[in-house]
A = this chain, B = another copy of it.
Amino acid sequence: MKTHQIQKINTKLVSLLDANRVHYDAATCHVYGYDNSRGHALPSFVLFPKHHDEIVNILTLCSAEEIPVLARGLGTNTVGASIPIHGGIVLSFEHFANIIKIDPDNRLIKVQPGVTNLAVQQAVGAHGFLWGPDPGSAAFCTVGGNLACNAAGARALKYGSTRDNTLALTAVTGTGATIHTGSQTSKNASGYDLTRLLVGSEGTLAIFTEATLKLTPKPTHSITIRACYQDVHAATTAITQLLAQATTPSTLEFLDARAVSLIQVHSELQIPKQSGAMLLMTIEGDAHSIRSLADQVAAAATVTGTIEVLLAKDDAQAAQFWQVRKALSPALRRLAPNKINEDVVVPVSELASFLEFCQQLVENHPVLLVCFGHAGNGNIHVNLLFDARIAAEAAAAKHCLTQIFEKVIEIGGCLSGEHGIGLAKKPFMHLQYSETEIAIMKGIKRVFDPKNILNPGKIF
């Protein structure tokens, strides 16, 4: 945006919200131009709306002036979905972060989009409930961002993703029109499901101003189980056997050999030396059932090639088991300066062969591979580690990534399980979707946002 345009738009924006919530200085614009993908682009304005009506007015202005608008939570997105690549306006929801109502009788909470996932969990936890989505970044990611990218986390295996736990939305379209989707009820068969269409649309269809989230009673008891295996094959056999049980763990996390050995080298945590793969599971139940459920799950986790299956004896040991998973990301940084972390999903039955495919693929290339993630959903975080300053490594990483995406689609999987498409996976959308399917998505975008001002250039 040119200087005279900025002045003109600034005057209009200041008339819509207090001057101290309209920023166009270089420092603020710089800070709000990045997300956790490490990409960056400069917006012309950063606004801090507080009210629904302000967002209606801003979008009405942006529609008239054809200014791109990006809604931003706290910038934890890893695929570049919150980078303002076409400049324009970033709407930051930091001051739009109130819990509006907790309604235990109807098992719901109504919030503004800027509230963090953790704040929701704490608020509803006090009433004996949880909200399903639990991304690793829960403490510093917002509900608005969770909605935009259909965020999930480890316990999605039992509780589903954001899309499965959202009842109703208030949102503003690219023309500045207010829409209310869904209802304050757990069933709805009335017209097209705009709620679930908006969830996961990465801010390209409408901007959320209020969300009604579905709550689930918190189980009273849980047990964490850690299982170590000789190799990936044994671990994936156990996964299949675990999912055939009537008792589904609420989490079923997988770590491959390199992930396990990273922990062994770089942390104090005790893991059997010969472990070539690990599973971490949480079993939930009540006082009467929890022990027998855990025993059933432990039995199902025991296959040929199992080294040990340990039930955490108390909360402290459970926390220690989970520490292994949390220590992974910092440890990864020691292997190489650059990391591509993709959250592909494959059918659980294909996990073993997919992991084997990835391992064989990287053997002939100058990149390292570390795989871990939400195995119960087949949602594997495939980490390619390399040094981007070395051309051969950068090229190899790119080549391997393409091969991995092609394989994922070939076996019936999908590009993303919880991070979204953003910029990082946009070049691969044609692998998962036909031209017809992408044309339909673009057609739907035009219905909500005829001038293409909402987060333009993302997804497709």
Interface of A toward B, CB cutoff 8 Å: 103-107, 128, 149-152, 156-157, 160-161, 163-164, 173, 177-181, 183-194, 196-197, 199-201, 205, 217-220, 240, 243-248, 285-289, 292-293, 296, 343, 345-349, 374, 377-379, 412-421, 425, 429, 432-434, 436-438, 440-441, 443-444, 446-448, 459-460
Contact = CB atoms under 8 A, between A and B. Distances in A.
B178 A436 contact: yes
Given A179-B436, A191-B438, A217-B247, 18 more contacts: A105-B240, A106-B348, A107-B348, A161-B189, A163-B193, A183-B412, A184-B347, A185-B346, A187-B378, A189-B200, A190-B415, A191-B441, A192-B200, A192-B201, A192-B441, A194-B441, A217-B245, A286-B296
Contacts of A443: 446-447
A62 B361 CA distance: 48
Contacts of A161: 187, 189
Contacts of A438: 191
B107 A243 contact: yes
Q: How many copies of this chain does one complex carry?
A: 2
A106 B349 contact: yes
Contacts of A292: 286-289
Contacts of A446: 443, 447
Contact of A187 (B152, B192, B293): B152
A293 B420 CA distance: 39
Contact of A434 (B156, B180, B425): B180
A33 B288 CA distance: 55
B189 A420 contact: yes
Given A105-B348, A349-B105, A156 B187 contact: yes
A247 B150 CA distance: 27
A414 B183 contact: yes
Contact of A440 (B156, B179, B188): B179
A294 to B, nearest CB: 11
A55 to B, nearest CB: 15
A246 B290 CA distance: 14
| 8 A-B pairs with least C-beta separation | A289-B289, A443-B447, A184-B412, A187-B417, A183-B414, A105-B349, A150-B189, A196-B196
Contact of A220 (B149, B150, B187, B246): B246
A423 to B, nearest CB: 14
A397 to B, nearest CB: 21
Given A185-B413, A417-B185, A194 B437 contact: yes
A200 B193 contact: yes
Contacts of A447: 440, 443-444, 446-447
Contact of A345 (B163, B187, B200): B187
Contacts of A128: 244, 246
Contacts of A103: 347, 349
A378 B186 contact: yes
A248 B217 contact: yes
Contact of A194 (B150, B296, B440, B459): B440
B186 A436 contact: no
Contacts of A285: 289
Given A128-B246, A288-B288, A189 B149 contact: yes
Nearest to A433: B191
B421 A190 contact: yes
A419 B189 CA distance: 7
A152 B444 contact: no
